Amino acid sequence: MGLFDSLRKMFAAPEPEAGTAPAPSAPPAPPHGVDYDDDRVPAPARKKIDAILAALEEVGAMMDREQVQAVSRTEIELMRDEHLPKLVKSYIDIPPAHRAEIFRKTGKSASFILEESLDTMKGRIDEIARNLAQHDLDAFSSNAAFISRRYSDGDPFR
């Protein structure tokens, strides 16, 4: 056994005993410790949060297929990992007895402002998705036109 093999064994993680299952890993903690299903979040807002999370997943998958500018990818990651959790957490953290103060200052309830903010965020995600889909539509149209020209009965060199 060489020096490197000895070092590798010395610093390697201990192997599990035969017949034992590896310890299950803990589920990832929600961003910023926010529970989107918290009872303090109004039900309509929870539905919007679920729609936003689903849309973020869909857009993320679309971005993985495409060559996407880092700016768009960063914007989506910030929405998912920072902006959405911070928005919801800041709503949850308002003591219920003091939510009326927001209405007095803005003329809108805290839950209305939360839902309005969620709608704004969803609108931006939808815009990004439309832009990505447009790229797919353009590529499909281009490929269909090529096939039509290439394999039509007409002159293949036009």
pLDDT score, position 26? 46
Q: Which residue has the higher pLDDT, 116 or 18?
A: 116
Residues contacting residue 31 through CB under 8 Å, at least 6 positions apart = 80, 81, 82, 84, 85
CA distances for 111 relative to 13, 67, 117, angstroms: 50, 38, 10
Reading the block at residue 34, the tokens are: 């926010």
Contact in structure between 125 and 50 (CB atoms under 8 Å): no
Q: How far apart are CA 106 and CA 28, in angstroms?
A: 37
> Residue 42 phi/psi, 5° resolution?
-60, 145
Residue 63 predicted with pLDDT over 90:
no
Q: How far apart are CA 116 and CA 127, in angstroms?
A: 17
Summarised one tens digit per residue, pLDDT across range 17-59 is 555 555 555 445 555 678 999 999 999 999 999 999 999 999 9
pLDDT class for 65, splitting at 50, 70, 90? confident
Q: How far apart are CA 144 and CA 150, in angstroms?
A: 10
Q: How far apart are CA 94 and CA 110, in angstroms?
A: 9
Summarised one tens digit per residue, pLDDT across range 10-27 is 555 555 555 555 555 544
Summarised one tens digit per residue, pLDDT across range 80-110 is 999 999 999 999 999 988 888 999 999 999 9
Contact in structure between 136 and 67 (CB atoms under 8 Å): no
pLDDT score, position 55? 95
Give the pTM: 0.69
pLDDT class for 151, splitting at 50, 70, 90? confident
